[in-house]
Structure 1
């Protein structure tokens, strides 16, 4: 009688409905046992990013999408759907957890190097008789420029554009270059025309990308020894007009982009280039990452002519080509990710 009241007219239908009910119970049980673990993992990653000063809506939206998908599959009694969604979402969150871990390492490494660089610059300025407010003002300007580079690289790691080990090697190489050549950034600071504080007789040679009024490029790092070769450049555009980059040269390589990469006026961007050797030809991709936000990037394909063999430890001269025919020169040292770094 209860079966007839529920609209069941045959034993087969009763068994079918009962089986569906059991599947839904199983799916809900799996959901109850595993969703908590997933939510805890999402919460941990969100807290880790927050402690670094990065608030990324991607983690929260990913968590909501995963929970909604699992609830939908559970309501349908689709056990396989629940299991596959849990596995997929756990894989995503663990991947992002790994990126967050490297972001933390980058921040800690950068903080240590910033402290040491500050000591070096202050000591050098005092050695030239520059004391008082000037060293502090100099450091504020330097810190603002360097931190924008650190933030861009960190966001690129979180976005998956640059791998964690690659970013650590590049940050390490970047600070090594600054430590070996502090006169460059000091020169940029003391040319701020602070009346009454910088004696006109003091001259520290070399110029810096930091204080230039013209577009410039700084080679942050190049990793070789694996396919692809990866090149990372900082492009600075302090002018009032946008830059359009249509290619680059490096050693005996001459490479063109499929489409111009645009860098807005008064902005900086990280240019990541990956070059592959396939059947004797050199091609790859170029990605311009601005400091605006995670995921703010442009990517184009690259096709090269010529041949260049890279040696670990060697320095190479290159240039970016602009659509107006101008060339922006840079230097970069070849490193190998398989080798330990300080």
Structure 2
């Protein structure tokens, strides 16, 4: 039985231990090609910096590559971290994509830097740029529309493309911004679940219709590890949690042993890692489908966007293949 609401994909272009960056990007390209046939609605790529295992830092470049190798599926950012860029440059990049691939490009926007403070300095960004987030979104809308808010400055390409925007976040701020701007709201519950229900309720309550969107629309993030047996899925989930311990707690220049990682998972810090993966569907396809139905109700979501955190490429592929059996082709 197919799920009763659309599913999309959040692909972090993860580089596994056995791969080069090029091989990881080729896997992302193949996933997009298969996702078209499987019936997924869209794929988003997230901007992260200074993270060895994530190859989607140059988000618009990756979208361009994959758009040229697919035919129908919608592609976008989940998201571009707007404080890292000028609205004009973002409009030019995504305007170019929209002209090359009409009707297939969208733009999710986040307020966080997507990295640590040292990297923020390396990006040459103003650390106070996030305070102008709403104004920057409005400026970006102007560049992508017909009425630039900056006198005598237009985005070429970009002007008149009206690339659809979404606001992404994991806090009440993002919910309020999306509601005030009348834009879809994507909640990052796949790694920051705590404010999910409160933020979605606030967004729906305060939503103001806009030229882009007449009614509120919520996209909620969730992790999926589908496997042929529940035991296999749970083993992979444990590997995922181990990997997150190494990412967030492992000291630079030193690899943690599995025993050290497991000791962390048994500590208070491990509780925080488990909480980050609270919304993870791990099991056989039927178990995953039931989890996703329950999660969609909890999140009051119109659409789910799925992250595939499996750490081994064979398990990653198998998870997507099994999830695809539950996808309803709703466009």
> Above 0.5 in TM-score?
no
Higher RCO by CA contacts (8 Å cutoff, separation 6 or greater): 2
Give the TM-score of the pair, scaled to structure 2: 0.25
The structure with more strand, counted as a fraction of residues: 1
More helix by share: 1
Q: If the length of structure 1 is used for normalisation, what is the TM-score?
A: 0.25
